[in-house]
Structure formats: structure tokens, C-alpha cells
Structure 1
């Protein structure tokens, strides 16, 4: 597996369009691979720069994507990392600073035989509870004193078939401790929650100094 980071050129009109329509990057990302595969991705801002981060099984060819929204004349604007090696170096009891952009929802049951209704979680406290309730499933403990929702907002855009997509986003940042390395590696590979095609679910780590 690979982790790829591509710096985005925000002076390009197409790049600015992708910020309000994740379906555009979804199409560019899928078009960068010969075979169809599940790809995790997210756009991050650091200072005044924007980066597209991807996790994929194959290396991909990002020449077209870079032509549309990246820096074509800067070979250093794209970086690859051996993701399998990174995961292999993770162990129980390690402490990491994390970031996660997730579609936070809950399912409301209408009784036996009825289809459950999916509703968004709107308040940061409910979104944090959603995250904490998944500690066992993820194989981690979250530091409740250091984990926050840094932003929450609606994502709304139109697909090419004129179908409107609307969902709620929460961006979490904080500290976690790995408690079950096998579960955690699986989460790092497969992502978390829904709307992964549109930039949700990728968990990224930075070592705590």
C-alpha cells in the first residue's frame, strides 16, 4: 500500500471548484488508477498550503490530476510513502496525535420490520460521543482531555447525474493510544464511517514528541 501527498495549486480555478464539490476530486482520484480500488483521501490545509492525501493499494499515475489541480513543474510537490511499512512499525501502547474527517450519523429504529432512519449528529458533544463509542472497534483509547471537534459543517454538492448529496462533517483532532494493533491497522487501511468516496474516513497520525 502507498500513502501519497500532493500539494495543490490554489491559484487554479479547478482547484477552487473542488473545495466546494468533493465529487470532482473523487473522479480525478479514481481516474489515476488502472484498476478500480477503494481509495481513502482527504484535503488538508497547513498554513497557507493545501495537500491531497491518499491511501491506495497501487501507486497510481497522478499526472492528469496534477495537471488539473497541482503544480506541474515541481517534482517535489508529490511524495510517496510505503504505507505497509508504516503500519508494520505501529505497536500497542504507542501514543499518537491524530486527525479524522468523518461523516457522523446515528440510526433511528422505527420498530421491528421497519427500516431504520439515518440522521446526522449536529452537536460537537454528540459527535465526540460517536467517536468515543468506537474505541473498542478501532483498537484505541482516545484522550478525552485532548480530543476536540475542530470544525463541523454541511457538505452539499451536485453529482453529474444531478443527484444532490448532503451530509454532515466533523473534523476531529486529538491524542490516541493504540490498544489493539490488529484492529487499528485494519482501520488505518479501510477508513472510518461513511462517505469515504468524498474525502471522509481517513485517519492520519503524527508522532507525539
Structure 2
């Protein structure tokens, strides 16, 4: 049974600053709240820092977690109020039906696979010269490419993005009316996987937060994406799609 958690983070504490600065450290903290073995859990997480003074961590887990350690290390353990909330995810999944609309938020790492990078790094050039035929995974860097990555994949994820209600907005390059989606945050992250010194242990990713409205086209496909995530870099805070039901128009 899946559970969706929301944890309040106190950004002024030393441990919090460490977690907020390092997706690797945050991933380890998330794994610490799981009752079973980490390798047996399917976990997605996302950090929402719309208000930098009150960031919130969202985590989707297979089993019911305990976030006491996070509250003690990076929250307000002595304060009043709800330090974290854990909710059964099944009721939301049961609301998915073809044609139903939801507000959504997703932080993802839009990437493309190519056999020949335009500007290969030293490591990539070594692979090319060695005759390595494996493709390279490169992140999309522009907002237009990142948005296109999202919009061209919605069908396989079980939903589509309706037209924006503000039709007086500028049309896109294809002359199509704008979709009801926007990019709220774009961030380039660079960090080490750990104490390993190899170049492969260094992670560089372009995380992008998308918000808007979606319409369900295939409940089964959408359920799969909600539970397993979207795109790469799931261990580092990407891939968690969350929904909020909308009032259906009469």
C-alpha cells in the first residue's frame, strides 16, 4: 500500500542546510525513514521550496514510514503543530478516471540520448575514441527543450495537457495555442555521488519543476507513472508527480 508523506524542514538548522544543498544527503535521509531494507523499497521524493523559509519534503513510499529522525535532525522537534503527515495514497489513485482533470506538479530531469554529443567532455571524447557505441545521456538545457520533452511524452504517461484558458497569450513556435503548463523552477545541480574519486561518480543534472493542469487519458498508465516516477535521477529528487483534484465543471 503506497503512502505519500509531507515533512516540514527548518532551513536554519545546520543539518537542514546540508540536506537542502545535497540531493545525495537528502536521499540518504529519506532512506532512513523506511522500515524495510532500502533496496526493497520503491521510493520517490521531491523538495518543494516555493517558500525558502518553509521548504517541504514530499516522499512516496511503498510501506508506511517514520520521519521522527528527520524532524529531530532538520525540523522543529520542540514546536507545536504537525511536523509531518503520512497519508494513504490509495484514495487518490481510485479517483483516476478517463477525462478527469487534476492540478499537477512534477520535478524532473529532462534528458535525451545521443550517439554523438555536440561538445563532448574529456571523458565522453575518450569513450568516442575508444569506439564505445553506447549512447550518451545529455540533459536538455533550454526551457523550450525541457517543455517539449514533457509535452511529447504525456501520451505514454496516461494524460494530456489541455489548452490554456488564457488564449490571448502568445502562441508557440508551431502556431498552436499555449498549453496549461508552466515551468516554475529550473536548476543545474552538480554534486558527488560519494567518496569515490572516479569521474563517473560526479553527477550533473538539470532539474525542472513543471506545474499546470492535466486530463487523464489512460488511468492505468498514469497510475504506473505516479507510483514509479517520471524520467531519470529519481534518487536525487526527480520523478515524483503529485496531483490535486479539481472541481468538475457542471
TM-score (norm 1): 0.93
Q: Secondary structure at the match of 1:32?
A: coil
1-side partners of 2:226 and 2:24: how far apart? 23
Contact 1:101–1:171, Cα closer than 8 Å, also in 2: yes
Deviations 1:6-36 (A, max 9, x none): 1111121111222221111111111111322
Q: Secondary structure at the match of 2:28?
A: helix
Deviations 1:56-86 (A, max 9, x none): 0111121112111122134512111110121
1:59 corresponds to 2:93: no
User: What residue number does 1:27 align with?
Assistant: 28
Q: Secondary structure at the match of 1:118?
A: strand
2-side partners of 1:128 and 1:173: how far apart? 11
1:104 corresponds to 2:110: yes
Name the Cα RMSD after superposition.
2.0
1-side partners of 2:179 and 2:195: how far apart? 44
Q: Secondary structure at the match of 1:19?
A: helix
2-side partners of 1:160 and 1:94: how far apart? 43
Which deviates more, 197-206 or 44-53? 44-53
Q: Which structure has greater strand proportion?
A: 1
Matches within 5 A, 1:23-172: 23-35=24-36, 36=38, 37-47=41-51, 48-73=53-78, 74=80, 76-109=82-115, 114-143=133-162, 144-162=178-196, 163-172=201-210
Contact 1:140–1:180, Cα closer than 8 Å, also in 2: yes
Q: Which has the larger radius of gyration?
A: 2
Which deviates more, 83-92 or 45-54? 45-54
Rate the CA distance shift 1:208–1:85 in 2: closer, same or farther, 3 A.
Answer: closer
What count of residue pairs does the alignment treat as equivalent?
209
User: What residue number does 1:18 align with?
Assistant: 19
Contact 2:226–2:241, Cα closer than 8 Å, also in 1: yes
Give ranges in structure 2 of 5+ residues lacking alignment: 117-131, 163-177
2:224 to 181, 186, 190: 186
